[in-house]
């Protein structure tokens, strides 16, 4: 009982902290090609909550965060109003698409991966380090920016779920 009470207080504190961190910034538009060769535009998801995760295959914190993020992706896979886009940027490989595709398929991640081969989109979003996640609201505004990975998968899952739910309520 005591532990459950402690966790509830902790979650309430996290929720209040996230509400204070909520922003309302314009989102840069973009169109990229996914690893299947399809063009994907952020504008295609207007009216939905979109989670954008900038990452690279050489980025250890990015890769360590993926199992937790996979859990969140699976939780929302049947919600038509929540979409995840994983933007592979700052990649060092000669064939960036093949490199990302091998990694994603080799690890069985159900991620929709876009290739930012010229690093234009990551520059538009003014990302300074990866992993960086943006939660974009249905009204096409950035609501949260999350940089880095603490190493705590449970915390990441809870934080992402709370950001998504707060963003959905705003829209």
91-147 pLDDT, tens per residue?
989 999 999 999 999 999 999 999 999 999 999 999 999 999 999 999 999 999 999
Among 62, 60, 44, 49, residue whose Cα is nearest residue 122:
62
Predicted confidence band at 18 (pLDDT cuts at 50, 70, 90)?
confident
Peptide bond into 131 cis (omega under 30): yes
């Amino acid at each position: 009982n005591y532990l459950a009470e402690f966790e509830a207080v902790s979650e309430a504190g996290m929720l209040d902290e996230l509400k204070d961190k909520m922003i309302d910034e314009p989102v840069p538009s973009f169109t990229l090609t996914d690893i299947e060769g399809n063009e994907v535009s952020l504008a295609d998801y207007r009216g939905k909550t979109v989670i954008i995760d900038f990452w690279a295959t050489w980025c250890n914190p990015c890769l360590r965060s993926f199992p937790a993020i996979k859990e969140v992706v699976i939780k929302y896979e049947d919600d038509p109003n929540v979409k995840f886009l994983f933007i592979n940027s700052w990649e060092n490989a000669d064939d960036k698409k093949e490199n990302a595709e091998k990694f994603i398929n080799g690890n069985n991640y159900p991620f929709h991966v876009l290739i930012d081969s010229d690093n234009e989109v990551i520059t538009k979003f003014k990302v300074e380090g990866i992993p960086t996640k943006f939660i974009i609201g249905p009204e096409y505004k950035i609501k949260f920016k999350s940089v880095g990975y603490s190493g705590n998968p449970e915390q990441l899952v809870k934080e992402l779920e709370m950001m998504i739910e707060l963003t959905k309520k705003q829209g």
